[in-house]
Amino acid sequence: MSKKALVITGASRGIGRATAELFRDNGYQVINISRRDPELADVTHIAADLSQTDWTQNIAAALGQAVVNVDTLSVIHSAGLLLKDNIDSVTADDLHRVMQVNVIAAAQLNQLLLPSMGAGSSIVYVGSTLSEKAVANSCSYVTSKHAMVGLMRANAQDLAGRGIHAVCVCPGFTETEMLSDHVGGSREILDDIASGVTFNRLIEPSEMASTLKFAAENPVMNGSVMHANLGQIER
């Protein structure tokens, strides 16, 4: 019987946590990388701060040991940093920090894991509707999520012939701590956001987890940008 594993970043909350639970419950060995321990049963946690450029140096040995003898390895880049900024206010330091967490850390993790990734493995990025459009006051986040799509497409080309596929899944407005924090915890604002969705509700993290699992397990999606947003109303 083949041994399947998931390495995921950001499983301490939100979409990442729901995804770690779903893969675990479907027979995957799950390894989470984040600052905070999700404290999930049967999920291995490796502590790391993705905002630091040298973060891989401290975990390379432990991560390599965790994926020994894995036949199929899925990597899901779920960790993300969202700041409120715009063209007038964004600083070079903040732009560097957001790009490091959302894009550069993903490229670093890929390089660390590729030697352990055989045919049938996958790399899945958690993008955003803002991977292909923009809103005001999210300058660094929008920039990073657009870059994530470029990284995924480059991966799909670079990995041609190796049996490893890459996908970017773009969630819509999801009921997560990140979204709540971004709006200051206002239920009124969250309800207003939900009114801009054709189903008049926010997405559940478990729904995104199922979508990410589909993307990870279906190589026909290689190179695709998958939007999963319940149909946003364009205004």
Kindly calculate the radius of gyration of the chain based on its CA atoms and give it in whole angstroms. 17
Residue 60 lies in a domain: yes
Q: How large a percentage of the chain has pLDDT more than 70?
A: 99
- CB-based contact 31:68 (threshold 8 Å): no
User: 146: helix, coil or strand?
Assistant: helix
Averaged pLDDT for residues 140-169:
98
| Domain with 48 in it | 4-226
pLDDT at 234 over 80: no
Per the domain annotation, does 13 fall within a domain? yes
Residue 232: inside a domain: no
Q: What is the pLDDT of residues 106-144, one digit of tens each?
A: 999 999 999 999 999 999 999 999 999 999 999 999 999
In tens, the pLDDT along 62-72 reads: 999 999 999 99
The mean predicted confidence, pLDDT, of the chain is 94
pLDDT in tens, 14-41: 999 999 999 999 999 999 999 999 999 9
Q: Per the structure, how many domains does the chain have?
A: 1
Look at residue 1 in the predicted model and tell me its pLDDT.
55
Given pLDDT bands bounded at 50, 70 and 90, which one contains residue 180? confident
Q: Is residue 194 part of a domain?
A: yes
The per-residue pLDDT for 2 is 67
Instruction: Tell the residue number behind the tokens 């401290």, with chain if given.
Output: 58
Is residue 125 assigned to a domain?
Answer: yes
Model confidence, pTM = 0.94
Q: Is residue 148 part of a domain?
A: yes
Q: What type of residue sits at position 103?
A: V
Range from 29-33, 91-95, 166-170, 180-184 carrying the lowest mean pLDDT:
180-184
How far is Cα 228 from Cα 214, in angstroms, rounded to an integer? 12
Does any domain span residue 231? no
Q: Is the per-residue pLDDT at 59 higher than 70? A: yes
Asked if residue 234 is part of any domain, the answer here is no
CATH number of the domain enclosing 138: 3.40.50.720
Question: Could you tell me how far CA 10 lies from the centroid of its own chain?
Answer: 8
